[in-house]
């Protein structure tokens, strides 16, 4: 919702690199953590111009050097913006993977869940599978009240089967 006005004000990374966090803030003030994100956007644009010839880098290692970009965001860029195969682990993917039993209990970090999931999904459907898990977590297997009675995974779900036994 905020990007049309944001990108109209700063249509290129070079334009954004000239802006300060204070210039960017009004365009993103309605989203979460706007102060930190405005700062990161200004610093990120500066770095992309200075170190990457004004092109957003395409590898995880390079993306994660940008201010405000962690592994999840870098993976989302790979999977969505660059059309590659990646498994970004957000809160939904993390919860649903544990509940269904796709990953063992010892996977207590997003990175360990990602490493486990990529072993089992064929690479060519990894990005699709990421969206399946997110949508399942958002609309069916919610954090507080999972809709088990409407879920098609009851036969294989570890959480569901541990409750009915």
Is position 90 annotated as part of the catalytic site? yes
Is position 72 annotated as part of the catalytic site? yes
**160 belongs to the binding site for ligand SF4 (CB under 6 A):** yes
Q: Which is nearer to ligand SF4, 72 or 95 (CB)?
A: 95
Number of H helices, E strands in the chain: 10, 0
**56 belongs to the binding site for ligand SF4 (CB under 6 A):** no
Q: Tell the smallest beta-carbon distance from residue 26 to ligand SF4 (Å).
A: 40
Residue 135 to residue 152: CA distance in whole angstroms: 14
Do residues 126 and 118 make contact, with C-beta atoms less than 8 angstroms apart? yes
Q: Please say whether the dihedral angle defined by the alpha carbons of residues 20, 67, 126 and 114, taken in this order, is positive or negative.
A: negative
Token pair for 85: 């195969």
Do residues 56 and 76 make contact, with C-beta atoms less than 8 angstroms apart? no
**157 belongs to the binding site for ligand SF4 (CB under 6 A):** yes
In the set 18, 53, 61, 72, the catalytic residue is 72
Number of amino acids touching ligand SF4 (CB under 6 A): 13
Can you tell me which of 72, 92, 99, 130 binds ligand SF4, judged by CB under 6 A? 99
The torsion defined by the Cα of 52, 20, 76 and 110, in degrees rounded to 10, comes to 110
The torsion defined by the Cα of 14, 18, 20 and 24, in degrees rounded to 10, comes to -50
Q: Tell the smallest beta-carbon distance from residue 160 to ligand SF4 (Å).
A: 4
Can you tell me which of 54, 108, 109, 154 binds ligand SF4, judged by CB under 6 A? 154
- Active-site residue set: 72, 90
Residues within the interface to ligand SF4 (CB under 6 A)? 99-100, 140-141, 146-148, 151, 153-154, 157, 159-160
């Amino acid at each position: 919702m905020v990007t049309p006005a944001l990108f109209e004000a700063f249509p290129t990374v070079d334009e954004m690199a000239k802006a300060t966090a204070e210039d960017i803030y009004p365009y993103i003030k309605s989203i979460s953590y706007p102060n930190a994100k405005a700062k990161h956007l200004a610093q990120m644009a500066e770095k992309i111009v200075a170190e990457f010839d004004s092109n957003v880098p395409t590898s995880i290692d390079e993306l994660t050097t940008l201010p405000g970009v962690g592994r999840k965001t870098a993976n989302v860029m790979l999977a969505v913006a660059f059309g590659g195969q990646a498994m970004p682990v957000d809160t939904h993917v993390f919860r649903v993977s544990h509940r269904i039993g796709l990953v063992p209990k010892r996977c207590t970090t997003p990175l360990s869940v990602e490493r486990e999931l990529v072993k089992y999904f064929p690479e060519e459907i990894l990005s699709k599978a990421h969206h399946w898990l997110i949508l399942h977590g958002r609309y069916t297997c919610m954090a507080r009240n999972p809709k088990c009675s409407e879920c098609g995974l009851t036969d294989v779900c570890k959480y569901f089967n541990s409750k009915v036994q």
